[in-house]
Structures are given as C-alpha cells and as structure tokens.
C-alpha cells in the first residue's frame, strides 16, 4: 500500500508545488487506487507516476474549495480516453454532484463508465465497506464543510504453509484457495484440515487517515486514532496559530500534537502555504518533530509506503 502526494500546496499552485491531491495505491492483486482531492492539474501530476487512470476506483473530496476540486472534471473525463470502463464512486460534501453535473452538461462531456456520486451530509461515520476495506468520514472545522477520511484495511489471512500442505497430501488448486479463505477442507481419506493449522499469523489491516482543511478538533483525533499513516494539513509554521485559525487551518505544531494524541504511527504534513519554499520544509519538519516523530513534510510526487506494523498471532 502506497500513498502518492500529487500536490502539497495550499490555495493556488506555486513554483514549488501543485495544489492538493493524494492517491492511495492498493496492494496486489487489485492495484487499483483511491484519489483524495483533485486540485487543478492533478492529471498532469499523475503522468509523472506509475498510476493509471483506468485503475482509479474511488474519489474522496474533502471540501469544495477550488484548490481541492478544480482538477476533478478534466481528470474524470480523461479516464474515458485512458480505457476506463469500470464504475467510479465519488464521495464529497453536498454540492459536489451539482458541480460535476453542471460542468459536464455545459461542456457536453460524456463518460464511458458509470460515475456514482455520493454526497455526505452531516457528521457521518461509515460511508463505504467491502471485503477489502471500510471508509469512515467525519466533519472537521473549516470555513466551509470539510471532511476527513479514515480508511481501514480488513485483516488479511496469513501465508499458506505450503510444506505442511504437501505433508498432509493437499493438492495445489482450489483446496488451497478455500484454506486461504479460512475454510476447512475434507480430504479423500476423511481427514479434516483446518485453515488455522496450515496458515501463518494473520496480518492486521492498515489504517490511513486523510484530513481535509481544518483547525484542531475532536473529530480529527477520532479519525487519526492509531493510524499507520496520518496525512494532516500544516498550512502555517508553529507560532502562527492565530492566523491559521482565522482561515480554518493548522500549524505544524498542531498537526504534530494531533498525531501524538491519536498515537499515530507516521505523520505526513501537507497543504503548505505558498510563503514556504522547498528549502523551508526541513524547518517545518523540525518544528513538528519537537512534538511527534516520525514526521515527514511532503514534497510533490513523494511516495510513502504504508507498512504493516504487526501480525496477529
């Protein structure tokens, strides 16, 4: 599982960074990906990665400020040209449906796939779940409705102990698949092989939290609890809390304090004001490190591997 930081700037593009967008690439065999926000030129940033638009499966918009959505219509349109035919689910605050439908109507845009739009209203919790992961959304504190998202991967079964299967006389094929899925099987001689006898420890699902623009708030802590990766805005440097709160944002210190309070495993800060150059990012990272580690100040096109932190015995 890998997070790509496609744009790490706030408000408008600068010569240092593009505006906000992130992509969470799921592990094999799916290799599909989830997009979080889509500031202008997001699809141009994607061209510099290994991501394929036809593998895009979900889009999650945190809020409707332009630096988070101006790149979305073009990206969705381009997906058809890139061979995208499978459905895409789009989640976002109330108004995202009207925004997309209005632009597509005026521009006569036609998609070759089904776009399913879900508007989030109020302070919702679970908004999606399948056999791979679940997604929760909660309302943050910004100038307009802004959401944070928590993606929880389902626990994964351990590896099959192939040598043990051979010893037991289990033939490779469908029986292996059933055991991998946690089922017991009965062999030709009537003996029963239980899944837990021939699989290693199960893997605990990873948690990724992506927060939209926000001041410090209780829901940010709830979403970030025990996250393996916490992506948190840090628009301003430490000491600029008054200015940050005036515009509904956080400082580096506040992002780190949230990570520490939530017992996150890794903090990546993003959404930096244009006043900061790439040379300033080490200083911003150092400010946060006084309160939480490990912490990373994201640069455009940074890749962060979300590692499995533990196994369940």
Average pLDDT (217-225) is: 98
Give the dihedral of Cα atoms 76, 123, 140, 271; nearest 10 deg. -10
What average pLDDT does this structure show over 277-291?
97
> Across residues 48-61, what is the average pLDDT?
97
pLDDT at 148 over 60: yes
Name which of 10, 14, 27, 13 is nearest 62 in CA terms. 10
At 19, phi and psi to the nearest 5? Answer: -80, 175
Q: Mean of the pLDDT values across residues 129-156?
A: 96
In terms of domains, do 130 and 241 share one? yes
Catalytic residue among 67, 82, 123, 189: 67
Asked whether residue 119 falls in the same domain as residue 31, the answer is yes
Q: What gap in Å lies between CA 117 and CA 138, rounded to an integer?
A: 18
- Co-location of 79 and 143 in the same domain: yes
Asked which of 197, 217, 250 is the last residue of a domain, the reply is: 197
Packing angle, helices 252-262 and 281-289, rounded to 10: 40
Number of domains in the chain: 2
pLDDT of residue 29: 73
Query: Does the annotation place 266 within a ligand binding site?
Result: no
Whether residues 115 and 207 share a domain: the answer is yes
Q: Is 67 labelled a binding residue?
A: yes
- How confident is the model over 81-124, as pLDDT tens digits? 999 999 999 999 999 999 999 999 999 999 999 999 999 987 77
Q: Is the pLDDT of residue 66 over 60?
A: yes
Q: Distance (Å, rounded) from C-alpha 142 to C-alpha 213? A: 6
Per-residue pLDDT, 309: 62
Range of the domain at 77: 2-157+201-312
Confidence (pLDDT) at 157: 78
Quick one: 106 and 142 in the same domain?
Answer: yes
- Would the annotation count 89 as a binding residue? no
Are 186 and 257 found together in one domain?
no
Q: What distance in Å separates the CA atoms of residue 223 and residue 204, rounded to the nearest whole number?
A: 18
Question: Is the pLDDT assigned to residue 302 strictly greater than 90?
Answer: yes
pLDDT of residue 283: 98
C-alpha 271 chain-centroid distance = 15
- Provide the CATH number for the domain around residue 38: 3.60.15.10
pLDDT above 80 for 172 = yes
pLDDT at 312: 46
Say if residue 132 is in the same domain as residue 265.
yes
The pTM of this model reads 0.90
Range 216-242 average pLDDT: 98
Among 276, 275, 269, 266, smallest CA distance to 254 is for: 269
pLDDT in tens, 5-48: 999 999 999 999 999 999 999 987 777 999 999 999 999 999 99
157, 160, 164, 165: CA torsion to nearest 10? 110
The answer to whether residues 191 and 206 belong to one domain is no
228 is catalytic: no
End position of a domain, from candidates 181, 197, 213: 197
Query: How many C-beta neighbours within 10 Å does residue 289 have?
Result: 16
Same-domain status, 51 and 189 = no
Instruction: For residues 302-312, give the mean pLDDT.
Output: 79
- If asked whether residues 189 and 306 sit together in one domain, one would say no
- Region 197-215 average pLDDT: 92
Q: Write out pLDDT tens, residues 36-45.
A: 999 999 999 9
Distances 269 to 7, 97, 219 between C-alpha atoms, Å: 12, 29, 18
Say if residue 88 is in the same domain as residue 170. Answer: no
Quote the pLDDT of residue 75: 98
Do 206 and 150 belong to one domain?
Answer: yes
Quote the percentage of the chain above a pLDDT of 90: 80
């Amino acid at each position: 599982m890998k997070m790509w930081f496609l744009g790490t700037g706030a408000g408008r593009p600068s010569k240092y960074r593009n505006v906000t967008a992130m992509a969470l690439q799921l592990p094999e065999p799916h290799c599909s990906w989830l997009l979080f926000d889509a500031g202008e030129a997001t699809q141009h940033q994607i061209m510099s990665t290994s991501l394929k638009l036809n593998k895009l499966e979900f889009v999650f918009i945190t809020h409707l400020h332009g630096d988070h959505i101006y790149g979305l219509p073009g990206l969705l349109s381009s997906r058809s040209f890139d061979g995208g035919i499978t459905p895409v689910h789009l989640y976002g605050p109330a108004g995202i449906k009207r925004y997309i439908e209005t632009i597509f109507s005026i521009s006569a845009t036609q998609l070759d796939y089904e776009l399913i739009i879900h508007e989030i209203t109020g302070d919702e919790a679970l908004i999606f779940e399948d056999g791979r992961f679940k997604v929760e959304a909660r309302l943050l504190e910004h100038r307009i409705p802004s959401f944070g998202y928590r993606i929880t991967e389902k626990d994964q079964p351990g590896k099959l102990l192939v040598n043990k299967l051979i010893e037991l006389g289990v033939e490779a094929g469908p029986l292996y698949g059933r055991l991998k899925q946690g089922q017991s099987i009965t062999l030709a001689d009537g003996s029963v092989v239980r899944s837990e006898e021939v699989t290693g420890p199960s893997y605990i699902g990873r948690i990724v939290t992506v927060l939209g623009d926000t001041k410090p708030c209780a829901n940010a802590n709830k979403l970030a609890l025990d996250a393996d990766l916490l992506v948190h805005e840090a628009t301003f440097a430490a000491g600029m809390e008054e200015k940050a709160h005036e515009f509904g944002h956080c400082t580096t210190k506040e992002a780190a304090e949230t990570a520490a309070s939530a017992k996150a495993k890794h903090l990546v800060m993003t959404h930096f004001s244009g006043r900061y150059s790439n040379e300033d990012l080490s200083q911003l990272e150092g400010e946060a490190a006084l309160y939480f580690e490990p912490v990373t100040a994201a640069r455009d096109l940074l890749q962060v591997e979300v590692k499995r932190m533990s196994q369940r015995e």
